Amino acid sequence: MTGELSPIDKAKFVAAKRAADFVEDGMRVGLGTGSTAAWLVRCLGEMVRDEGLKFKGVPTSTRTAELAREVGIEVISLDEAKWLDLTIDGADEFDTDLNLIKGGGGALLQEKIVATASDQMVVITDAGKEVETLGAFPLPVEVIPFGWQTTHALIEETLISMDVLGRSATLRMNGDRPYITDEGNHILDLHLQRIGNPRQLALVMNQMPGVVENGLFIDICDTVVIGYGDGRVEVRDINEGTVEHDRLDFVETDNLFTDLTD
């Protein structure tokens, strides 16, 4: 129940609830991965059930697909959709230009493919994710398993010439084994502390053999919906240059808050 939610979870919930209003009948919508995106899927499931909302969702991970089906959302593949009206996803960090770091949940490759195949990307987040300069959150880089240690060494060597403070990279683990993405790859987390030129770093990372994709989302996000623990919501549209403020009341909804495991 909402009364049991932490302030951060309340912030994620109101951001997701507000962003759900962007979804209209007949849309093809990319559904993100992570704790905030899970709130969105739950909110959209309620709208499908209670308001008759009809849309098709394209999940960015197997766990998002499972949750979407569980709450009654029609799930299709990106190949079936071909192009999307909208993608709504979370972020690990965002700056004033709405550049993002994503991939903390391990789904950065599918998330970036889906987001760039959309007319609009809306990011839902809590206020704590906003930073002046990207880089405090480790930057995920998805790499193929073959020769990953060589790729790891190449990345650390290349970082010497980049505008960053830290230069170490660690293999993401799942217990005592390497974390495996939905595409069967590994993730290296780059501990950079500060990224002075995100655009340059993103381009350089993706030119390396063995690197599949990086978690820098540059010029992809159009709108950010920021939630606060007291119910306030801020909506920033970088294309229109507008900032809107709203407040959402918490409504006790058993169906929405029961068994939310993400």
Can you tell me which residue has the tokens 């998805």? 142
Q: Is 102 annotated as a binding-site member?
A: yes
Q: Is 104 annotated as a binding-site member?
A: yes
CA-nearest of 118, 92, 128 to 214 is 92
Q: Is 231 annotated as a binding-site member?
A: no
Q: How far apart are CA 86 and CA 25, in angstroms?
A: 12
Q: Is 56 annotated as a binding-site member?
A: no
CB-based contacts of 1, cutoff 8 Å, min separation 6: 252, 254, 257
Which residue intervals of the chain are DSSP H helices?
7-19, 35-51, 62-70, 78-81, 108-116, 148-159, 198-206, 254-257
Q: Which two tokens stand for residue 162?
A: 């980049």
Contact indicator for 136, 95 with CB cutoff of 8 Å: no
Q: Is 219 annotated as a binding-site member?
A: no
Contact indicator for 63, 94 with CB cutoff of 8 Å: no
Q: Is 103 annotated as a binding-site member?
A: yes
Contact indicator for 212, 182 with CB cutoff of 8 Å: no
Q: State the amino acid at position 116 in one-letter form.
A: T
Q: Is 89 annotated as a binding-site member?
A: yes
Q: How far apart are CA 189 and CA 166, in angstroms?
A: 12
Q: Is 36 annotated as a binding-site member?
A: yes
**CA gyration radius, the chain:** 18
The number of angstroms, rounded, from the C-alpha of 137 to the middle of its chain's C-alpha atoms is 13
Active site residues: 111
Q: Is 105 annotated as a binding-site member?
A: yes
Binding residues for substrate: 33-36, 89-92, 102-105, 129
Binding residues: 33-36, 89-92, 102-105, 129
